[in-house]
Structure 1
Amino acid sequence: MLNKILVLLCLTMAWPAYADIAVIVHPSSSAEIDVDELNRLYTGRSSALTAVNLQEGLAMRSEFDEKGAGRASAQLKAHWSKLVFTGKGTPPAEVANEAAMLSHVASNPDAIGYVDAGSVDDSVKVILTLQ
């Protein structure tokens, strides 16, 4: 009986995703950034590139918020709410999914985005991988 309960518990638990995140730009881009610059881009403290986010609520977005922007999703949302309210910033545009992110970045030379490293194709260039 205990074994059955443990198996059911293991099957119903939500396991966190530990995917590598590829930070991507247009293939013609010569941009080179580190995690600190990535954080500045996604918090509105830099405009060297045009940051693009995945839709809020996606697991990859939450993982990126922590690894790339350096904050939990709720903290980042509060940060942007304050900037928008005071007229000091506009949050990054959002796309619906990773296919839309690849398409958007591939067609915009100034864009920077992110996808699961396994989703990268030759339409974009990876400039940083977050683990």
Structure 2
Amino acid sequence: MNKLKLLLLSSCFTAFSSQAVTVIVHPSNADALDKKAVKKIFLGKTKKFPNGDEAIPIDLKSGQLRGDFLKAVVGKSESQFKAYWSKLVFTGKGQAPRSVDSEAEIVDLISKNPNLIGYVSDGAVNDSVKSVGQF
């Protein structure tokens, strides 16, 4: 019985530990993107924004936010996402998103390049980038 209580309690904490993920682009880019469009970009199924401009995804190397983004938007765990891209890269059918170390780096890169798309926590968004969706 105690094990069951502990399991239920840990499940509650896990459910509340995820954070909202904000998808960002350069200010000159689209005003909004739905989850399906973002998912297609991060899975390499499309290389363009809805307006036809090139879309280049930027990913975090690791961390809770990355896991939350992959689960909420892409619909894959970190290991599933890695396996998905490993297969595409091995078969020559794609190139995995560039990975960076921090949210600050994502914001900096996107503020300088209108073709980039990435994700950060809500608190990392500033005037140099534009939020196009929160998931």
Same fold (TM over 0.5): yes
Give the CA deviation at 1:95. 1.1
For 1:54, the equivalent position in structure 2 comes to 60
Give the CA deviation at 1:119. 1.5
- Alignment gaps of 5+ in structure 2: 1-5, 49-54
Is the 2:30–2:132 contact (alpha carbons within 8 Å) kept by the matching residues of 1? Answer: no
Q: Does 1:29 align with 2:35?
A: no
For 2:3, the equivalent position in structure 1 comes to none
Greater helix share, structure number: 2
Q: Does 1:45 align with 2:45?
A: yes
Cα displacement string for residues 19-77 of structure 1 (whole angstroms, at most 9, x for unaligned residues): 1111000011125321111111111101011111011x311111111112111111111
Q: Structure 1 residues 31, 41: CA separation in 2 closer, same or farther (over 3 Å shift)?
A: farther
Compute the TM-score of the two structures, normalised by the length of structure 1.
0.84
- Alignment gaps of 5+ in structure 1: 1-8
Which of 107, 110, 116 aligns to 2:112? It is: 107
**Backbone CA RMSD of aligned residues:** 1.8
Task: State the one-letter code of the partner of 1:26.
Answer: H
* Percent identity for Structure 1 against Structure 2: 36
User: Rg: which structure is higher?
Assistant: 1
